[in-house]
Amino acid sequence: MFKGKFIDNLPKIYGTYTGGFIVFIILMAIAEQAGMSAKLIGIFFVAFTVLIYALIGYLSRTMQTDAYYVAGRQVPTVFNGMATAADWMSGASFVAMAGGIYFKGYGYMALLVGWTGGYVLVASLLAPYLRKFGCYTVPDFIGTRYGGNMARLSAVIVLTVASFTYVTAQINATGTIASVALDIPFEIAVYVGLASILMCSMLGGMRAVTWTQVAQYIVLIIAYLLPVFWISNKMGAGVFPHLMLADEVARIAELEAQFGLGEVKNSAADLKQVPKGLSGITKAHAEVNTTPWKFISLAVCMMAGTASLPHVMMRYFTTPSVKAARRSVGWSLFFIFLLYSSAPMLATLSKLSLMDPNLATGIIGKSISEVQAIDWYQNWNQANLMFVSDFNGNGTLELNEFFMGGKAVVLATPEIAGLPYVISGLVAAGGMAAAMSTADGLVLAISNALSHDIYYKMINPRAETAKRLIVARVLLVLIGFAGATIAALEIQGILGSVIWAFDFAMSGLFFPLVLGVWWKRANAQGAVAGMLGGLIAGSAYLIAVRSGYPGFWGVTQLTFGIVGSLVSLVLMVVVSLMTKAPDAATQRMVDEVRVPSGKAILGKQH
């Protein structure tokens, strides 16, 4: 069916795949009409898509180092953009973001700006230069540019702290979705999620992760956009929601005023009844309800964090050229934009469909017993994601008497808006794809750093290829299990851990990476001081704030990266200037990195 090289056939292969997936959705829709149960549809969606990813993972198996670490450096620009988008958009983007906007409105949308604006930094400051360098991992760049095992080790430590915080959140997300869709307990579902993640990455490393991520992007974007368009059209809100929801946004503001948003406060005793993790609507939807600094500091942390997270950066090591790396960043952001610009629209539609008394789906103002009898309410109440209670005893549901989990906005809205169940199954598959693709990238980033930078470069430089790749795989499994074990404890919510990961990465890696390219005078001593000092300062601030310290400059536990990275910058500059300038060979190396043509600094096999 497909002649010639695999790479040349990519558009055909993924075109066929997309067509096949749409046919599968239609078949499921027909099966639903024929009376297939909702539960079975959910199982089919999740199981079918995960099996396809596992198949791609198996077909991409390899025993070559450059295929395992950087997918053979032959991933075309647009496809790398798709893979990066899937790598990037995690369970937090897919499942939690629309929910955040739903509950917190404008103040929360700093994340949309931060998680996209960071790509400008990636494209202009780092990606093309690191691609020219020819490294396998991010610590590989730090270790070679600054020289010495200490710099390499420090980079591995920061990378591990940041990525591990992130990956537990993603395994938690796969577990949540698997437990809802497959109807198994969360503690077991976490390991089912882990097994699917490992199947994608273990045999083929970066090559396998690349081609599964492209497949996962296609599933997740269909799963996000289809319901948004469908609900919008069904509600008569507009054929193209992104351009046509202005009236709905205005209508929400009107309803918020009418229902007395923010005027009626719940008493502490009332709030005690609400199950943990659920929140009510307390902030206006489109009004500016946050201070500029709060908005900007969060956006800045997310942007600098984006540019320092190794699992994103290493995707640009897989392009065929420096030029392709640069363009590929643009494509990544384009594919991310498709989902991010839809999240506020989904939040708007979801909010309106629950609030507007003129719509059949509106529940505010209805009697409590009536709401409690609704099918979808019972389902999601059972899953611990929805709750109503008559605090004032008047028998009607008020705005402050309705509570919902953040995840429910994406997962439950199709059902609330009265879409067929097949859409809910599709959304579950999309959430699974988003969380799995990010978890794969992260687990691989950590295990590659440990196997390449610690084992091969520091412990056993004479190890043969076969042995290196076996070590890499053993580490991959171990890290996956460690992540799953911690995820099963559920210490911090999905979104909180993700934001922390950005702050950790920013604290330790942002300035050492950027100055490595843009400041020739930066040396190993400075970089080590910057990485470790930044990480320690940031973590110390986080721990202090968590244990009751009020903090300064309005920096919270979500933005502690500001403190960490400033300490890192100051230490790095001061220590670099106090110690010897890097030798001539290093300076020449930096000059080499700055021009796209010529040989890579590190050879094809290293």
Partner 1 sequence: MSKQQQHWEKTRMLLFVTLAIWFVFSIGIFFFGAEMEASSIRPLGYPLSYYMTCQGSLGIFVILIFWFANRQEKIDEEFGYTEREDD
For partner 1, give the closer residue by CB, 152 or 327: 327
The two structure tokens encoding residue 535: 């990480």
- Nearest distance in Å: CB 542, partner 1: 23
Please choose, from the candidates 142, 52, 12, the residue with its C-alpha nearest in 3D space to the C-alpha of residue 429: 52
Least Å distance, CB 18 to partner 1, is 22
Least distance (Å) between residue 346 CB and partner 1: 11
Nearer to partner 1, 36 or 296 (CB): 296
* Shorter beta-carbon distance to partner 1: residue 13 or 532: 13
CB closer to partner 1 out of 280 and 330? 330
Q: Is the dihedral of CA 128, 437, 67, 144 positive or negative?
A: positive
Q: In what order do the strands lie in the sheet with 386-388?
A: 278-279, 402-405, 386-388
Shortest distance, CB of residue 292 to partner 1, whole angstroms?
A: 5
Which residues pair with residue 367 across a beta bridge? 396
Binding site for partner 1 (CB under 8 A): 76-77, 106, 109-110, 112-114, 116-117, 119-121, 123-125, 128, 242-247, 249-250, 286-288, 290, 292, 295-296, 299-300, 303, 319-324, 326-327, 329-330, 333-334, 337, 340-341, 343-345, 591, 594-597
Tokens of 82: 């798709």
Cα dihedral sign for 510, 516, 517, 522?
A: positive
Name which of 38 and 113 has its Cβ closer to partner 1.
Answer: 113
- Kindly tell me the sign of the dihedral angle through the C-alpha atoms of 592, 595, 599, 602: positive
Q: How far is the CB of 174 from partner 1 (least distance, A)?
A: 27
Element (H, E) at 421: helix 421-448
Query: Which is nearer to partner 1, 90 or 424 (by Cβ)?
Result: 90
Q: What residues contact 272, with CB distance under 8 A and at least 6 apart?
A: none
- Give the shortest CB-79-to-partner 1 separation in angstroms: 11
| Closer CB to partner 1, 287 or 583, in the complex | 287
> What is the C-alpha to C-alpha distance for residues 334 and 338, in angstroms, rounded to an integer?
7
Q: Whole-number minimum distance, CB 518 to partner 1, in Å?
A: 8
Q: Parallel, antiparallel, or unpaired: how do β-strands 278-279 and 402-405 relate?
A: antiparallel
Q: What are the structure tokens assigned to 262, written together?
A: 């923010």
Report, in Å, the least distance between residue 108 CB and partner 1: 9
Q: Which is nearer to partner 1, 127 or 444 (CB)?
A: 127
Closest CA to 278 of 406, 416, 415, 108: 406
Contacts of 266 (CB under 8 A, 6+ apart): 280, 391, 400
Residue whose pair of structure tokens reads 């990275």 in the numeric block: 565
Element (H, E) at 278: strand 278-279
